[in-house]
Amino acid sequence: MISTLLIVLPVFGLILTGWLVRRMGVLGPQAASELNRFVVYLALPALLFDIVARARPAEIWQPGFIVSFGLGCVLVFAATLWIRWRSERHLADAAIDALGSSYANTGYIGFPLALAVFGPAALAPTLIASMITVCAIFAVAIVLIEIGIQGERRPGPLLWKTGKSLAKNPLLVAPLLGAIFPLTGAQLPESAGSYLKLLGGAASPCALVSLGLFLAEKRESKREDTGAVGLLIGLKLVAQPLVTWVMAALVFKLPPALVQPAVLLAALPTGTGPFMLAEFYQREAGITSKVIICSTVLSVLTLTGYLMSGV
């Protein structure tokens, strides 16, 4: 147990550091958003570009892993959407709730935790999981939100808006550009590689501190649906890793080197993406923010339990 805690606690220690420096006033109210912008627009794209540019196609093309992790996301997303929409929640809000129950924090917590637990071999599966989460699931949520809030539902404008949003997403563009190198057989220049490693190396610590800063912000709260918060957290921390394990271990019978990272990444808490989407579309964000905070705290216990189980 002690060895497991030694792996998990430093990751959450950085989150706690961000929380403390914000609450103590060392960093101001804009620190979370500015550090988050640095991670999203510079550090994490550099890390993703570097990983893809140096990867062999066989490392990225893991159909069993892709389907196992992807179905874990999709099934939980669809179940949450159906439950929340059936409870007479607006489609846009139901889509944000569905994202909150399936949007694993692969970017902020996944990379440092997977690297600490499994070593460099876990970077490729983490990259695949990040692209599924940040690109595919996020895109589905955007489409549903747009359908829910637009008076007209013509597919042309809807697809155009979604395409523009994805085309501006650096977490999608960076790995796609990096894929040019393994696909063409070209080699990344040594100086460019050094630059990317320096910049990308800041992604994990800055992202974790940024998450702590976000959690420390005092937000106005209403009387939220406690049952909804509990439902989303249960689906995220229990249902998604369980579905992923069934698909990876029992259906596709993947080797442990892929099953373990898949389940660990599926068991991560909810990332800040759903909250940012709720804020962007000016939807109700109270439930989403509580899910992020509570799932992050509770995941200290659930992730430790998973690592101790040795699944």
Total number of domains in the chain: 1
Q: Which residues contact 310 (CB under 8 A, 6 or more apart)?
A: none
Domain that holds residue 6: 2-216+224-306
User: Can you spell out the DSSP letters for 114-152?
Assistant: HHHHH-GGGHHHHHHHHHIIIIIIHHHHHHHHHHHH-S-
Domain presence at residue 101: yes
Q: Is pTM, for the whole model, over 0.85?
A: no
Confidence at residue 20, expressed as pLDDT on a 0 to 100 scale: 95
For residue 8, is pLDDT > 70? no
Domain presence at residue 311: no
Confidence at residue 258, expressed as pLDDT on a 0 to 100 scale: 92
C-alpha dihedral sign at 185, 186, 191, 194: negative
For residue 131, is pLDDT > 90? no
Q: CATH number, domain at 19?
A: 1.20.1530.20
Distance separating alpha carbons of residues 296 and 219, to the nearest angstrom = 17
Alpha carbon of residue 112 to chain centroid: 13
Task: Please report which confidence band the pLDDT of residue 231 belongs to, taking 50, 70 and 90 as the band edges.
Answer: very high
Q: Nearest CA to 248 among 239, 240, 237, 260?
A: 260
